[in-house]
Amino acid sequence: MAYLLAIDQGTTSSRAMLFRGDLSVAARAQQEYPQHFPASGWVEHEPEDIWTSTLATCRAAMREGNVHAGDIAAIGISNQRETVVVWDRKTGQAIHRAIVWQDRRTADVCARLQADGSEPLIAARTGLIADPYFSATKVAWILDHVSGARERAMRGELLFGTVDCYLLWRLTGGAVHATDATNASRTLLFNIHTGAWDDDLLKLLRVPRALLPQVRDCAADFGATLPELFDGPIAIRGIAGDQQAATVGQACFAPGMMKSTYGTGCFALLNTGETAVASKNKLLTTIAYQLNGRRTYALEGSIFVAGSAVQWLRDGLHLIKTAHDSDDLASQADETQSVYLIPAFVGLGAPYWNPRVRGALFGLTRNTGPAELAHAALESVCYQTRDLWEAMRADWPDLAAKDVSLRVDGGMSVSDWTMQRLADILKAIVDRLMIPETTALGAAYLAGLAANVCPPPETFAAQWQLDRRFTPAMDDATRARKLHGWSQAVKGLLVSDRDG
């Protein structure tokens, strides 16, 4: 039997999953690694931690599955998007810590781009907005703040990549400097209509072309690993950014299908087919996947804080010992209290796109305790998803015209309490896949597709398996009251930012 090895390199941990040829799970391994917060709104990773944890989990999954390199048909890679690494072309040594997608240090740069009228060009070419979330301003920051880096970049001595690209370069021993179309589409430098790096954007954002990787399909030949890494070479045949990989893993191949992944953040993607829909409601237009040179597009809403709100309950407030405890604690809350957490720890994402605001609690009373805080943290994810849902309904009329279910995945999706509350707040069906790690599943499928191990998309979609369906149970009056309270809390936060 041929196996597929999926690398799922995330924001707080690296995971490796070994799949059999029929895409059933054979083994898995996961390892957390440190986060660094050198200043308010700044988030960094040590690239070497990303590499060593990825290598360790791959080896651990292979040991657990008793599988050798020769048994694995291909590796697929998914990754935290927008996070950037700049490294030396000869030595592979990073010249600065990786700047993470959550990082907001370039907010002033993005504000200047908006003020000087550059955002319409950015939006027309990339489908994105001028926000610190994306890669290009982070790259420029590294080049400007590391001594001699910009000059070295101009001489071709440095390379840039998102995490997939960095791992690929390390896995192949520097033989391949490439990425896929989905990761390229998140950099602010890639024209999603022509499928190429854009010279006007490179000039505007001050990123030398010599830094850039080649861009390939999501299912393609990305070389092979060094033999010494896994006691034999393994072909690398798939790459996609984590949210696009999850879209593939959820088999959202038809226009109008929608998925939402709940990890550190929350990311909802709506397949719009071969049409790149320009959002009028502050959503992003992005590449969902690219196969055989053909691009499929999506509307995306990005929430910066979802599962990390639960981590805050655990590590910051010490209200729970494990993430799973949040369900029990939230279920004990006094439902008559209207406590709202806006978890803008690193600003607000879609549809607000405000990098300056910070988190806030509204509706506190003398009786508010740990249970109410846990309740507010979990419920905040549901309200933010509702904001994205409404924006997508406005941008894509077909979504508003019919009953659409939301396919969910990610670590937070295992919370029955949260998923039921999500169905209640959306007033929509929420379907949870049998395998919650759809990001890894999508990466494995893409690799297997290129390696002729996996079936075509339509056959894969027919094999999608439901774990549990959550149907709305909340009455309309309660839902309306809760949504009004959330809306007022967000308005209050935004008003305080303007006044401040």
24 carries a ligand binding annotation? no
411 carries a ligand binding annotation? yes
289 carries a ligand binding annotation? no
User: Kind of pairing, strands 158-162 and 266-273?
Assistant: unpaired
CA dist., res. 328 & res. 370, Å (int): 11
From 401, 427, 433, 405, select the one nearest 483 (Cα to Cα): 427
11 carries a ligand binding annotation? yes
CA dist., res. 190 & res. 122, Å (int): 10
385 carries a ligand binding annotation? no
CA dist., res. 153 & res. 151, Å (int): 5
From 68, 64, 103, select the one nearest 85 (Cα to Cα): 103
13 carries a ligand binding annotation? yes
264 carries a ligand binding annotation? yes
322 carries a ligand binding annotation? no
Token pair recorded at residue 275: 């049409």
- Contact criterion met (CB below 8 Å) for 239 and 180: yes
- Contact criterion met (CB below 8 Å) for 72 and 16: no
Torsion angles phi and psi, residue 252, rounded to 5 = -85, 70
DSSP state for residue 224 in the 8-state scheme? B
Preceding omega of 351 cis (within 30 degrees of 0):
yes
81 carries a ligand binding annotation? yes
307 carries a ligand binding annotation? yes
CA dist., res. 395 & res. 280, Å (int): 6
User: CB under 8 Å to 495, separation ≥6 — which residues?
Assistant: none
384 carries a ligand binding annotation? no
383 carries a ligand binding annotation? no
410 carries a ligand binding annotation? no
Output the known binding site for ADP: 11, 15, 264, 307, 411
Output the known binding site: 11-13, 15, 81-82, 133, 242-243, 264, 307, 311, 411
Output the known binding site for ATP: 11-13, 264, 307, 311, 411
Output the known binding site for sn-glycerol 3-phosphate: 11, 81-82, 133, 242
Output the known binding site for glycerol: 81-82, 133, 242-243
